[in-house]
């Protein structure tokens, strides 16, 4: 008990000595918290960046203008797509195997913003459809990358030896695919190819159909030129 009492008294005494030593010291000069006011620049601020300099300005404009133009001499596609170049949420969801589930996911989770679409035919039965799908990316971000990632998965299933794939130059992980086995359920052999990539908040998808095998140079060229516009 005596030892414990002595220990407590020693701590108190040491604290008191510390306060006394501090009280005898000269006050330390500290820098003033107030600073002289700084003169503000006058005149107009810098001009906003143009669409050529600021990619976001470009993609926030008319998304349809970023689609590749139809080649000279091209004909209308075999089917109508979108409304005046726009594909609304319901129309885009219809491109999925389960439209109802896709609609809910695109609305509640994937932050679908808008989609632009075009299609055409050239050189006989050669058909092209291009979609640009833009996401809000407010809550989570990375939605365009996720959409492209899903497209990669379905374009080249594991063990599919009838599909060849190549990276799209200048796109990071963008990929182009040629399916060498024709689809015959329509009574005629239809060959298909596709390309998928993303940049920022926009995912790109290209589908090509023909009654003849599709060379990889065709799908790679279309994909590369389309991505250069984003």
User: How many Cβ atoms sit within 10 Å of the Cβ of residue 155?
Assistant: 20
pLDDT tens digit string along 1-18?
A: 334 333 333 433 444 334
Q: Cβ(10)–Cβ(4) under 8 Å? A: no
Q: What pLDDT does residue 22 have?
A: 45
User: For residues 43 and 124, which has the higher predicted lDDT (pLDDT)?
Assistant: 124
Q: What are phi and psi of 132, to 5 degrees?
A: -120, 115
Q: Say whether pLDDT at 42 is over 60.
A: yes
User: Looking at residue 188, what is its pLDDT?
Assistant: 87
Per DSSP, the three-state class of 131 is strand
| Residue-level pLDDT at 10 | 42
**How many other CB atoms sit within 10 Å of the CB of residue 156?**
16
d(CA 116, CA 198): 14
Q: Which long-range contacts (CB under 8 A, 24 or more apart) does 164-169 make?
A: 164/216, 166/216, 166/220, 168/195, 168/197, 168/220, 168/223, 168/224, 168/227, 169/220, 169/224
Model confidence pLDDT, tens digit, residues 158-199: 777 899 999 999 999 999 999 999 988 878 899 999 999 999
Domains parsed from the chain with CATH numbers: 118-228 (3.40.1000)
53-110 pLDDT, tens digit each: 566 788 888 999 999 999 998 988 888 888 899 999 999 998 888 888 888 888 777 7
- The strand order across the sheet containing 190-199 reads 75-76, 112-122, 126-135, 202-210, 190-199, 175-183, 163-167
């Amino acid at each position: 008990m005596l030892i414990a009492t002595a220990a407590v008294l020693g701590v108190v005494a040491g604290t008191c000595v510390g306060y006394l030593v501090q009280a005898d010291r000269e006050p330390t000069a500290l820098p003033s918290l107030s600073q002289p006011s700084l003169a503000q620049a006058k005149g107009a601020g810098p001009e906003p960046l143009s669409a050529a300099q600021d990619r976001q300005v470009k993609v926030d404009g008319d998304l349809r203008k970023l689609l590749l133009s139809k080649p000279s001499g091209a004909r209308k596609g075999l089917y109508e797509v979108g409304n005046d170049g726009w594909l609304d949420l319901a129309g885009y969801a219809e491109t999925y195997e389960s439209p109802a589930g896709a609609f809910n996911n695109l609305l509640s989770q994937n932050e679908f913003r808008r989609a632009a679409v075009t299609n055409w035919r050239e050189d006989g039965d050669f058909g092209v459809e291009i979609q640009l799908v833009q996401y809000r990316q407010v809550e989570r971000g990375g939605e365009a990358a996720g959409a492209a990632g899903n497209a990669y998965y379905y374009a080249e299933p594991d063990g599919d030896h009838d599909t060849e794939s190549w990276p799209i130059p200048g796109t990071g992980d963008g990929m182009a695919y040629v399916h060498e086995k024709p689809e015959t359920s329509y009574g005629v052999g239809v060959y298909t190819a596709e390309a998928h990539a993303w940049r920022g908040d926009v995912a790109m998808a290209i589908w090509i159909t023909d009654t003849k095998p599709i060379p990889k140079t065709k799908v790679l060229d279309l994909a590369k030129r389309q991505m250069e516009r984003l």
